[in-house]
Amino acid sequence: MGIALLALVLGSCGALKSSGTGSDRPGPEAVAGKPAESDSSRISTMMHFLASDELQGRDTGSEGIERAAAYLEAKMREFGISPYFQTYRDTLSNSKEVAYNIVGVLEGSDPELKDEYLVIGAHYDHIGLLPPKDGDAIANGANDNASGTSTVLELARILSGQGAPRRSLIFAFFSAEERGLLGSRHLARVLKERGIDLYAMLNFEMTGVPMSGRDYLVYLTGFERSNLAGICNAYGGADLVGFLETAREYNLFQRSDNYAFFEEFNVPSHTFSTFDFQNYAYYHQAGDEASRMDFVHMAALVNRMAPVIRSIADAGEREIKGN
């Protein structure tokens, strides 16, 4: 979650071508034989890599985030997700450091609906190294936002394994979120310039630990700005998506990567999260480790959200409406 939120949390909680080489096109065998659901073991493996000490906190422009980007590219290829641009890498035009989003697409199958797009995203950068505390200087960024990144990876795997939906799905992993939402601002502008018909943007941020005392699994930022929560609950169960007052109080709608797409396209663009300002005390700290994550919870969220997204993508009409 963006650096602009740091003071609030501490108070509450105590370009089109890549510089890479080679073909990124996946082979047809990449999607064969996938399990239909996620599980805690798969989530754990992803999280322990993305939030490992070896990646040094995935700061923008660092060697660690380069390794994370290569990992995401390999996963997209493995899952049969094609690059949206010439390659998976989308070089940022608004970053002082060399940085790139990782962007793939699952093209829709319906001749009339495939030119409508859903963007499903998460930022994969974090803040890198901090002054040492108790001998640890690495801000691993497990909850923020290896959790959202792993969630989107698993959604991509499951949805691609089900064959092409009617509408097209763009899977986007943003860099430089912690520098001021730079990755999402860049991609939203580029997609706008390309004239795509964006239906909605669904972002995942800090989904690694469950909320307590709630009668729903995940909250939605900008809850009142569209009927997305109701659509999700109609497809996924009434206890799936709820309203968090603190999210409105702190205006989280404008503090994550959904907001750039709302600004550029004025379509429903929201973030799903389970960080409620009381259930996790390690925001932007060295203690934000994979070992503190609840992988059963994360797998459950993926398994609840995957059929929702598929249903939205396959619906005959645009059901999500802005308020």
Band of residue 3 on the pLDDT scale cut at 50, 70, 90? very low
* CA-wise closest residue to 136 among 312, 291, 304, 310: 291
* Domain residue extents for the chain: 3-314
Q: What is the mean pLDDT of residues 266-275?
A: 98
As a whole-number percent, the residues of the chain with pLDDT over 70 amount to: 89
Integer Cα distance of 255 and 272 in angstroms: 12
Q: Which CATH superfamily is domain 3-314 in?
A: Zn peptidases (3.40.630.10)
Tell me: pLDDT of 78 over 90.
yes
Q: What is the mean pLDDT of residues 104-115?
A: 98
Q: What is the pLDDT of residue 2?
A: 61
Q: What is the pLDDT of residue 35?
A: 54
Task: Please indicate whether residue 25 or residue 84 has the higher confidence score (pLDDT).
Answer: 84
Q: What is the pLDDT of residue 53?
A: 98
Tell me: pLDDT of 108 over 80.
yes
Integer Cα distance of 177 and 59 in angstroms: 10
Tell me what the pLDDT averaged over the chain comes to. 91
- CA 41, 43, 44, 45 torsion: positive or negative? positive
Tell me: pLDDT of 160 over 80.
yes
Q: What is the mean pLDDT of residues 148-153?
A: 98
| 3-state SS, residue 172 | strand
Q: What is the mean pLDDT of residues 94-120?
A: 98
Q: What is the mean pLDDT of residues 220-233?
A: 98
Q: What is the pLDDT of residue 6?
A: 46
pLDDT digit string, tens, across residues 273-305? 999 999 999 999 999 999 999 999 999 999 999
Q: What's the pTM value of the predicted model, to 2 decimals?
A: 0.91
**Cα dist. 183→44, 202, 212 in Å?**
26, 15, 32
Paired tokens of 132? 């040492």
Determine which helix (DSSP H) or strand (DSSP E) holds 269, and give its type and residue range: strand 269-273
Q: What is the pLDDT of residue 233?
A: 98
Tell me: pLDDT of 42 over 80.
yes
